[in-house]
Each structure stands twice: as C-alpha cells, then as structure tokens.
Structure 1
Amino acid sequence: MTKRSLEQRLEDGTVIVGEGYLFELERRGYLQAGTFVPEVAIENPEALKQTYRDYMLAGSDVVLAFTYNAHREKMRIIGKEDLLEPLNRNAIRLAKEVAKEHPREEALVAGNISNTNIFDPEDENSKVQVREMFREMISWCKEEGVDFVNGETFYYHEEALIALEEIKRAGLPAVITLGLMGENILRDGYTVEDSCASLKGNGALVAGMNCFRGPATMQPYIEKIRNKVEGYVGALPIPYRTTEEHPTFFNLPDGGCSCTLPTETTFPTSLDPLYHNRYELAEWAKEAHDIGVNYLGLCCGASPAMIRAVAEAVGIETVQSKYSPDMHKHFLFGEEESLNEANLTYRTKA
C-alpha cells in the first residue's frame, strides 16, 4: 500500500497517536526522572526502538521521534550541548526504521518540538532564542525526512505560534497541541479554544490539547475547541484521574500513601496509584471521537495496552488486538464447561 500522508489519513478517519515515551522509558529504566532528557536515543537505541514498536503495534499510526526536551536550552542545562544534533537525528532515524516495520501500512514519522520553559512574553530576546531553537530542530526534521512536525505542550499561545511559523517555514505539515495549566487559561491570556482557532487560521493541520490533564479535566476544553475550530482537532490527555479540584497531574494527592515522598506532590514519580484503567480511557476515547476529535491518543503515563484500548474503542483493530483481554478461558472468570467448578466460586470470594 502507498503510504498515506497525515492529511489523507485524517480525511479517511481517525488517526491514533501514542505518546508518553518520557514516562514509559523512565519506568523501563532507560531515562532519568527529573532531568527528563531523551538521551536514550544515543545510549540505548534498541530500548527506544522497542518502545516505538510497542506503541505502533498497539495502534499508533504515528511514530513520534522522541526529542521532547532535546532542545538547546535543556541540553545546556545538563552540560551536553554536543549531543544535541546527534540525539535529534538519531531519534528520528530510529523512528523511521520502526515505522517501516508496520505490517499493514508504513507508519507516519513525526518530528517533535515542545515547550522550551524559557519563553517570556515580556522578553523579546527569549522569543528570539525560542525561534532559533525551534528552527534548528525543525531543520534536522526536514533533512531526515519526517512526514510532519508535532509541536506540543505549549502553555503560551505565542510560543505555539512561533513553533507553527517555523514548521510552516520549513514546508512541513504541523500539529500543534496546548498544555493547559491549573489556571484554566494559557499564560498569555488566551483561552485554549481561541488559541486553537488562531493556530488553525494560521495554517496548523491539527490543533488541540495534550498532557497535564486527564480525560475528566481535558474533555470540557476539547468540546470548546471542537465547537470553535473548523477542521481537525487533537486530544491527548494523560491517563491519570485528575479532578476539578486538582485539574493537572502536577498536584494530584494520594491519600493512601503511607511513606514520605521525595517531592511535595505525587508528580512525577509517585503517580502510580492514580491511573485510570483502560476501560475508563476507552470510554473517554469514544466520547471524544463522537464529538469529532480526529487526532486521538494519550500522553505521559500511557502504556501500549492503554493505546490499544483507545484505538479499539473507536472501532480500530490493531496489530496487537489479538492480545486484547479475553476472559473466556480464565480459571476464575471463564465460561468453559471444563473449568474447575470449585475455582469459579472464588469469583466473589477470592
């Protein structure tokens, strides 16, 4: 089959996007929490390839090059600016290798740029620095032949707009998603729906939200975006049980924790008890799909099984759907006549 572009796939239906490599690779033991720099692309390329592969086969139409936080400022902070270009290029090359392995249709490869954490709407020099950082990363994306660039987790509209301008300058399709903090408004005063409308008007193929918020506290804003924006809308929440009182995962409490945590909050390394299960995530995916979200996935904390549940919820059979849960032959919950009757009594007693 000829490899379809992102726009063609969006025209044909829903595009599933598996993100969340940052937390997943930390969980697998290949990335340091705190610095959260994707040195795995240099130090453990096979581990990164396997993670790419797991998310792709679970249903992701996109292999997102793992370059989140791999910008010049972050590399300066950790004293490894010499790794900046090799890390970016290798992350993309590994993604391209894995994308070609898809047994049905070669997956899309997306370059990745993100919030820089130095943007200041009152400081013109910071805007120049941000633009330069985006420009060099996008130039490597262009040279390595990505299908589109994903600019994500922006909590300033103007920073997102700079990202969009630089992606367009390189002649590549752009997906731009916003990270909404607990103030419920972007830090330069834009609502997410107004920002997305502006981004779409300025040429983004997809505009929407990702990260920071779970389904419960992201979906109301996705609905506002969907009502305001013409065209393709993206939604990639985190898989944690955020609430109106605690709308992001930055301050989620865990009332059952009996130990002293190394940080003041459960974020980022003590969030484990606060996960949504895959069935809750599937319900959200169907809700988002039903209102017309076209670019659908999960962000930090997502596992391949969760991505598969999201894909299946909107009617997509993934390569790994053959491993989806089936309790028919389970020793406690099965329905086979040959199962031990005594065991079956433990369905409610065990």
Structure 2
Amino acid sequence: MKRSLEERLEDGPVIAGEGYLFELERRGYLQAGSFVPEVALDNPEALKQTYRDYMNAGSDVVLAFTYNAHREKMRIIGKEELLEPLNRNAIRLAKEVAKEHPTEEALVAGNISNTNIFDPDNPESKDQVRRMFREMVQWCKEEEVDYINGETFYYHEEAVIALEEIQRQGLPAVITLGLMAENILRDGFTVEESCRILSEKGALVVGMNCFRGPATMQPYLEKIRASVDGYVGGLPIPYRTTEEHPTFFNLPDGGCSCHLPLETTFPTSLDPLYHNRYELAEWAKSAKDIGVNYIGLCCGASPAMLRSVAEAVGVETVNSKYSPNMEKHFLFGKDESLQAHNVSYRSKA
C-alpha cells in the first residue's frame, strides 16, 4: 500500500522536489516573467518528463505543477478559460507519473500559492483570494490528490486562508512561507510565529520555501523548529544568497561582463550564482540535524541537485546508480585498467 504523507514523515525525512518553474523555463517550455504553467496543456509530455526526473532523483511526491495557475495569473495572460483544464491536467499527469515509481507509488500533491493580490487592508481582496483557493482546492479534491502544498506565502493571513480552504476539503496541508529581505512577513508576523499558529491550526507541515538560499534560510528554519511541535519543512533556492542580499530578487551579478537586459540577475541571469550540489548536500545534512522533516529545493534546482540532497539524508534514489563515480575517468580515475600516461598527465590538463 502507498503510505500517506504523515506515515512517511513518521518514518524519516520526506524529500520534496520542487523547482519546476525555473527548470521548465530552462528547458524551453515556459515563459520567464509571467511564469504561468501553460506547459500542462501545451506540452504535457515535457511536463511528465520533468515530473519523472525529479521523482527519480528522490522526490517522494510529484507536485502538480499549478504554481501560478490561479485565476489572477490566468487573467493577466488573458486565458481564464484555460484555468480549470490546466489545473486538472497538471494533476492527472502527476498521477500518471507517480504510478511509475518502481518501489512505492509516489504521493501526488495539489498546489496553491501566493496570489499577489492579497491586501491586508482590503476585505474584498481577502474574499477574492479565498474564492481562488477554494476552486483550486475543490479540483484537487475531485482529482483525488494525497495532500495539498500551499506555498510561497509572504502574508501570514493569506497562508491561513489557504489552510482553511484545504481543511474545508478534508485534505492534509503543507504550508510554507516565502520570506522577503525585510526578514518579516509583510503583515508583521515573524516566520516562526506564523508557523506556530499554522501548525496549531492543523497544518501537517509548516516551514519555508523559495526566495532564500540555504545560508539565509537556515537561521529561520532553526527558529521555526524551536517554535513548532509538529513537522517542519525547508525548501531553499540553490543560489548563494547573503546577509546583505538575503533573497534572489536582488542578487548582484558576480562580475558578469555582459550587458544584462533586466534590472537584476533575477530571473534569467542567476546562473553564475549557483551553489554546487555538494554545498546543497551539506545544507540538507544540517537541516536534518536540526529536525527538519520535509526537505527539498525550490526554484533553480535541478534533478541532480535534488538527488544529492536526498542522498545526503540517507535516501537511495531511483537514479542513484547514476551518481558521480570518478574511478574510471581517464584523467582522474584510480582504476588500475586506466592508461597510466593519461593519469600522470592530469595535473597538466
């Protein structure tokens, strides 16, 4: 039988592969800027392969790619009529891939996210947000997802609305927050305070995702872990954020000599600012050590990065057979069958 999310959390760390947004843009199937996952309708096979790559890299869950697939985003691009078909197809494709897992069928999670219209001083905006979440969660329920991931909320109250609408449908909820550079949620709550409240209200997992790399997320994960009795999630971006630049929205270019057409490196010029997979693995070990239970990576992460994270916390993935092994490399290997004249040349290569 397929274990539930809660059962898997009880057994050890759950690996959650995110990052489809940047990955599909990098693969050529999504537009940077609007960042709407039309790929679920336009190129379903490309989306299925992306789901598959992250699952085989260690993700216990196939997260339906409906991030930004809400009514406001669809309105902006003039395609509201595609809202429901896009949401339902993204879930159905995820379910198809989840069944392919060779040892245990992967979980399938529905996905709702920050709406960018929430205004704490405008009751109508709150009602609008609730209606947007309600219809998406209803489709998730009808498509029989295992749980719903509500993510990247930078307002506490918006996260609470998301949780309430998930609970209305009787589904488990993972709620993660995106912390801007002010180091506080935009309606004045600290992340640890917000997570404590969300956990007490019944969220199965609470924590943080996106915006921040390991260095600038980890201190807040420690605060959340100290404040929350339940399960905690951490899904940083794989970029070298710093105390001076704690999010990827304003990271400097790191010495790029070319002309950048945008005001910042975000979102299409972040390439030189990546952490390598070994640094991300070290973060994952640190996260596990402090008691983070739901571990993954967010925007910018590749399957290879996720595999390193999974292996770092003791998970053998479907594709661990392809993990690096330099023993037979013609220059750097140590296998006795290698050509000695090549191995002796490696310091000059």
TM-score (norm 1): 0.99
TM-superposed CA distance for 1:346, in Å, is: 3.8
Mapped pair 1:12 → 2:11 = yes
Matched with 1:312 is 311
> CA 1:346–1:131 in structure 2 vs 1: closer, same or farther (change >3 Å)?
farther
TM-superposed CA distance for 1:336, in Å, is: 1.2
* SS across alignment from 1:63: strand
Question: Number of residues paired by the alignment?
Answer: 349
Matched with 2:325 is 326
Matched with 2:224 is 225
Matched with 1:68 is 67
Structure 1 stretches of 4+ with a deviation exceeding 6 A read none
After TM superposition, the structure 1 = structure 2 runs for residues 169-188 of structure 1, keeping only pairs within 5 Å, are 169-188=168-187
Give, in whole Å, the separation in 2 of the partners of 1:177 and 1:274.
24
Instruction: Give the partner amino acid of 1:16.
Output: I
More displaced stretch, 209-218 vs 330-339: 330-339
TM-superposed CA distance for 1:7, in Å, is: 0.4
* Cα displacement string for residues 302-335 of structure 1 (whole angstroms, at most 9, x for unaligned residues): 1110110000000110010000000000111100
TM-superposed CA distance for 1:345, in Å, is: 3.2
* Cα displacement string for residues 77-114 of structure 1 (whole angstroms, at most 9, x for unaligned residues): 00000000000000000000000000000000000000
Give, in whole Å, the separation in 1 of the partners of 2:66 and 2:98.
16
TM-score (norm 2): 0.99
Give, in whole Å, the separation in 1 of the partners of 2:43 and 2:176.
28
Give, in whole Å, the separation in 2 of the partners of 1:346 and 1:19.
41
Matched with 1:138 is 137
TM-superposed CA distance for 1:262, in Å, is: 1.5
* Cα displacement string for residues 145-174 of structure 1 (whole angstroms, at most 9, x for unaligned residues): 000000000000000000000000110000
CA contact (8 A) 2:254 2:273 kept: no
Matched with 2:340 is 341
Matched with 2:296 is 297
Supply the RMSD in Å over aligned alpha carbons: 0.7
Matched with 1:253 is 252
* Cα displacement string for residues 126-157 of structure 1 (whole angstroms, at most 9, x for unaligned residues): 00000000000000000000000000000000
Give, in whole Å, the separation in 1 of the partners of 2:335 and 2:124.
69
Where do 5+ consecutive residues of structure 1 fail to align? none
Matched with 2:198 is 199
Instruction: Give the partner amino acid of 2:6.
Output: E
Mapped pair 1:266 → 2:293 = no
CA contact (8 A) 2:52 2:97 kept: yes
Give, in whole Å, the separation in 2 of the partners of 1:334 and 1:26.
35
Give, in whole Å, the separation in 2 of the partners of 1:345 and 1:34.
49
TM-superposed CA distance for 1:339, in Å, is: 1.6
Give, in whole Å, the separation in 2 of the partners of 1:330 and 1:23.
31
Where do 5+ consecutive residues of structure 2 fail to align? none
CA contact (8 A) 2:61 2:109 kept: yes
Matched with 1:164 is 163
* SS across alignment from 1:327: coil
Mapped pair 1:55 → 2:79 = no
Give, in whole Å, the separation in 1 of the partners of 2:39 and 2:224.
35
